[in-house]
Structure 1
Amino acid sequence: MTVSLATVLAESAHRRPDHAALVLDGRRITYHELWRDARRYAAVLRGHGLGPGARIALLLPNTAHFPLAYFGVLALGAVAVPVNPLLRAEEIAHVLRDSAAAALICAATELGEGAEAADATGTPLFTVAVEREGGAPRLDVLAGRAEPIAAEVQREPGDLAVVLYTSGTTGRPKGAMLTHRNLVTNVATTMLSPFAFQARDVLLGCLPLSHTFGQICGMSTCFRAGATLVLMPRFDGPRALDLMVRERCTLMMGVPTMYLALLAAARSDPRRPPLDRVFSGGAALPVAVLEEIRATFGCPVYEGYGLTETSPVVAYNQPAWPTRPGTVGRPIRGVDVAIARAEVEGRIELLPAGEVGEVVIRGHNVMAGYLNRPEATAEVIVDGWFRSGDLGRLDADGYLSIVDRKKDLILRGGYNVYPREVEEVLTRHPAIAQVAVVGLPHERHGQEVCAFVLVRPGIRADAVLAEEIVAWARTRLAAYKYPRRVEFLHAFPLGPGGKVLKRELLSRSGR
């Protein structure tokens, strides 16, 4: 049996050649054009000596060059190594060295950092969308004159398709090795459920394509269905709302910070797109925000859960089952989820329904391991289960609730405090737009609960409001849970997938 993730695009190009695959700045690119030009990219790379198994890094923003290069690399039988465009040269160089990248494809907007990293590591460089002549080979220009390769190179199911680097919340980022089997199966499964994609759907592509949520759940699943992806180079609430209205988007995938910005835009813009459903992931979506999205846009909101290491989808609320706000739904087909004792290492001890422990996963979606990290792989893949590092519980019907990250748990005076639970309560305060709760060192209690807050427009953030929030929380949370300290921010530090970087909040606290 052979397989290729490139068939996600190839098959839709055969079925729907004249249908719009991609919309960007008003330009429409059909499936035939996108697949033809991706194979042209592959022809140029092959002409430079690159072939099956070569790891090719992509330092590209949300433009048409990303899917062209991505599927061109896959069509060649090579391995795509997407790189977050926000990284600096030293961080990019780490990815190039660690992945043993045979080449780097870099856009003009990232050329300064990318070229510096390529020089430092001796990695051959290709550029796209660069106006000046000379320098590195211009992949897009050369592709315009190239004859496309005839068809995608087939690979074995266990061969690597993509290496995705984790955000590196602790230590250097690690490369999660995802196989063709991992990704083809996850895309085919989630296209049907939870995402229920149909060829008529129009998806707002506001998530970064370098990240697993935008790349696999968004772009790849959309292309597998033969639907249309309306791409945004950079997310902005008012622009997203306008784009969805103009392009008549039926579907959106985003992280909570995006939905908060979209709701803010909707308060001053009465227009509404014909959204049929929206999906949230990447971080916890407060139930109050879910309810506001549903009321504002008149469509169901489905929250789910996944990780880079699980290709990525693990579980989701979905149209086929009753939605339970506050949960991330049930596992997708072919994936098992259980709860294990978090404090036990080296083996898996499963817990019964209703108890809190570490979320563990097994199935077709679990990565082949961390690149060059056998010890790190052995730590997280135990007895056939992947240890997620997230704390959760399963109810009697199999719905999964994510309580928090293991490392974010606050231990105050001997009691466990789960930040997400506190955040859910605080989000309902009328002055609070967004909140993140962390534990700060404390001499007497071990840790103290601190809430970092963004206030709603027109609200004055001062000591009086901080005291009011503390008093308000005291009446709604147990004595050991409510925050004794409130700090106000103008913006949260965000990672590449839109998650709040709590480690940076800790450093900002001065503790």
Structure 2
Amino acid sequence: MNLADRLRLAAERLAGRTAVTLDGAQLTYGAMELMSARVAALLRRRGIGAGDRVAVMLPNVPEFAVVYYGVLRTGAVVVPLDPLLRKREIAAYVGDCGARLLIAWHAFAETAEAGTAGTGADCFFVVPGEFPRLLGGMAAEREIVPRSAGDTAVIHYTSGTTGRAKGIELTHANLGSNAATVSRMHALGVDDVVLGALPLYHSFGQTCSLNAAVHAGARLTLLPRFEAGRALEVIRRDGVTVFQGVPTMYIALLDHPGASDMSLLRVCVSGGAAMPLDVLRAYETRFGCPIVEGYGLSETSPVAATNRAGPGRRPGSIGWPVKDVEMKVVGEDGRELPHGQVGEIIVRGPNVMKGYWNDPAATAEVIRDGWFHTGDLGRVDGDGFFFLVDRRRDVIIRGGYTVYPREVEEVLYEHPAVRQAVVVGIPHPELGEEVAAVVTLRAPVGPDELRDFAKERMAAYKYPRRVSFTDELPMTPTGKVLKRTLGLSLNE
């Protein structure tokens, strides 16, 4: 099997129907299939074949879908990257997976070239207008290279730099089964219009928006950057029926003065962070569209559990496992806990990743006896509904984006004035969490300088907005920083 077969099958039965739109630009299923076949031919000319890694650094534009399926057609592996990454981050990811090529949006050419310098990867830039003309001169590569269910299709990177990043290997079976599950769960069909506001380089947007829409033959209308007013305009203009977003998007829509009737929406899906109950209730009361909250991680392709629409839904819960997926809550000894007790959520099923790229030790740490240990704390009630309680790890979820504190700390340590740096998440009314740094100094420096120092070296959502100074950090007897105590003190 090859995930690109889903596009070919859709094109065979829906060739003239619109697949992807961005404002006035649109691609039919037939055109998207043909262009992806020409991308495959272009890659062949560059020597790209089965198993090779191709990094893709594109925003939410129709070209993303064309390139994504084009890479898969050749049997190569897609490595999606955030277009806002800095050169050091690009170098870390491209170097770690040994990508032979980086396909990047023209606006990020300078950063892309700087990031790939010394990695051995070539760069190819997608320029609007020029890209379709280039593909028009290529003979389509109609063959879709067969892949087995366990072959890697995509490598999603966790945050990290200088070799510390972990590549999450998702197989064709992982992604195919999860897309089919999402499509079936939300009853997606050819008359549905899905709002593509989630970044396509992220597993949430890639599976639940792009792959699920293609599986169902639905239309995906893209929004390169979420802004409430613009989203409302697109929802009304294009007749959007399915809206998938993170809680901050719903909060922004509630706060927008122009938000009124959105009766065309059939279902709204929330993920990426816990949805505040007050926001859920206010949204549903105002707009009359139920929000279905789900749960998952990139390591689970990403959907592991979800609420269902209808009378069985339980607000505040992440629902129960999706088809063919098992979940349970276990204690420190790995044994399943009784209903109501808080423990670690573990997952088993066809959605669980193959492993971390070239990191068997890290893989063995999280996948034990076939179960993926999420590091998230939760509980399950007597009816089988799961509730996410907290995160065991120190990961910060800022507006649906994952920020790893150690990565931020490592950047801060590069500043000569910094003696110690600790990064924690603190509550934020709109983003869920904000990134905060507490620093001890060896030389005078201001918070603005440290903030700007980190900002220059990291993607925009990662750097600490709040920088505080202290003479001494709270420590355990074994010398570990008491991050929880530190986070609580920052909120006082």
Q: Shorter-chain TM-score: what band?
A: 0.7 to 0.9
Structure 2 counterpart of 1:292: 282
Alignment partner for residue 322 of structure 1, among 312, 316, 324? 312
Structure 1 counterpart of 2:375: 389
Structure 2 counterpart of 1:374: 360
Structure 2 counterpart of 1:270: 260
User: Retained in 2: the 8 A contact 1:282–1:499?
Assistant: no
User: Retained in 2: the 8 A contact 1:362–1:384?
Assistant: yes
Alignment of 1:124-139 (within 5 A): 124-129=122-127
The CA RMSD measured in Å over matched residues stands at 2.8
Q: CA deviation at 1:150?
A: 1.4
Q: CA deviation at 1:169?
A: 11
Alignment of 1:89-488 (within 5 A): 89-129=87-127, 140-168=132-160, 172-193=164-185, 195-265=186-256, 267-272=257-262, 274-319=264-309, 322-341=312-331, 343-344=332-333, 348-408=334-394, 451-453=427-429
Q: Deviations over 1:256-284 (max 9, x none)?
A: 1111111112x334353510110000001
Structure 2 counterpart of 1:18: 16
SS at match of 1:360: strand
Cα 1:18–1:325 change in 2 (3 A) is same
User: Retained in 1: the 8 A contact 2:84–2:460?
Assistant: no
Q: Deviations over 1:466-491 (max 9, x none)?
A: xxxxxxxxxxxxxxxxxxxxxxxxxx
Aligned length in residues: 421
Q: Distance in 1 between matches of 2:358 and 2:425?
A: 38
User: Retained in 1: the 8 A contact 2:263–2:288?
Assistant: no
Q: CA deviation at 1:377?
A: 0.7
Alignment of 1:491-502 (within 5 A): none
Q: CA deviation at 1:122?
A: 2.2
SS at match of 2:250: helix
Cα 1:505–1:390 change in 2 (3 A) is farther
Cα 1:314–1:143 change in 2 (3 A) is same
Alignment partner for residue 35 of structure 2, among 17, 37, 40? 37
Cα 1:452–1:505 change in 2 (3 A) is farther
Cα 1:354–1:289 change in 2 (3 A) is same
Q: CA deviation at 1:140?
A: 4.9
User: Retained in 2: the 8 A contact 1:128–1:140?
Assistant: no
SS at match of 2:112: helix
Q: Distance in 1 between matches of 2:45 and 2:161?
A: 39
Q: CA deviation at 1:499?
A: 12
Letter in 1 for 2:109: L
User: Retained in 2: the 8 A contact 1:52–1:76?
Assistant: yes
* TM-score, normalization by structure 1: 0.77
Letter in 1 for 2:304: V
SS at match of 1:121: coil
Q: Distance in 2 between matches of 1:185 and 1:260?
A: 31
Q: Does 1:62 align with 2:60?
A: yes
Structure 2 counterpart of 1:135: none
Cα 1:92–1:321 change in 2 (3 A) is farther
User: Retained in 2: the 8 A contact 1:41–1:139?
Assistant: no
Q: Distance in 2 between matches of 1:212 and 1:130?
A: 25
Structure 2 counterpart of 1:413: none
SS at match of 1:328: coil
SS at match of 2:374: strand
Superposition misfits of 4+ residues, deviation over 6 angstroms: 498-501
Q: Distance in 2 between matches of 1:223 and 1:6?
A: 10
Gaps of 5+ in 1: 132-137, 410-418, 421-437, 439-447, 456-492
Q: CA deviation at 1:452?
A: 4.3
Q: Deviations over 1:29-66 (max 9, x none)?
A: 11000111011101110111111111100011111111
SS at match of 2:182: helix
Cα 1:63–1:277 change in 2 (3 A) is same
Alignment partner for residue 27 of structure 1, among 25, 28, 32? 25
Q: CA deviation at 1:370?
A: 0.4
Structure 1 counterpart of 2:437: none
User: Retained in 2: the 8 A contact 1:241–1:273?
Assistant: no
Letter in 2 for 1:274: L
Q: Distance in 1 between matches of 2:281 and 2:383?
A: 23
Gaps of 5+ in 2: 398-404, 406-423, 432-453, 471-485, 487-492
Q: Distance in 2 between matches of 1:87 and 1:373?
A: 23
Q: Deviations over 1:122-173 (max 9, x none)?
A: 2111111178xxxxxx865432211111132110111110001123499933
Q: Distance in 2 between matches of 1:140 and 1:48?
A: 18
Q: Distance in 1 between matches of 2:277 and 2:460?
A: 17
Cα 1:453–1:227 change in 2 (3 A) is closer
Letter in 2 for 1:363: G
SS at match of 1:407: coil
Q: Deviations over 1:286-324 (max 9, x none)?
A: 011111111122111100001000011000011366110
Q: CA deviation at 1:504?
A: 3.7
- Farther-moved stretch of structure 1 (327-336 vs 287-296): 287-296
Cα 1:321–1:181 change in 2 (3 A) is farther
User: Retained in 2: the 8 A contact 1:93–1:117?
Assistant: yes
Letter in 2 for 1:33: A
Q: Distance in 1 between matches of 2:307 and 2:377?
A: 18
Q: CA deviation at 1:351?
A: 1.1
Q: Deviations over 1:432-453 (max 9, x none)?
A: xxxxxx9xxxxxxxxx996545
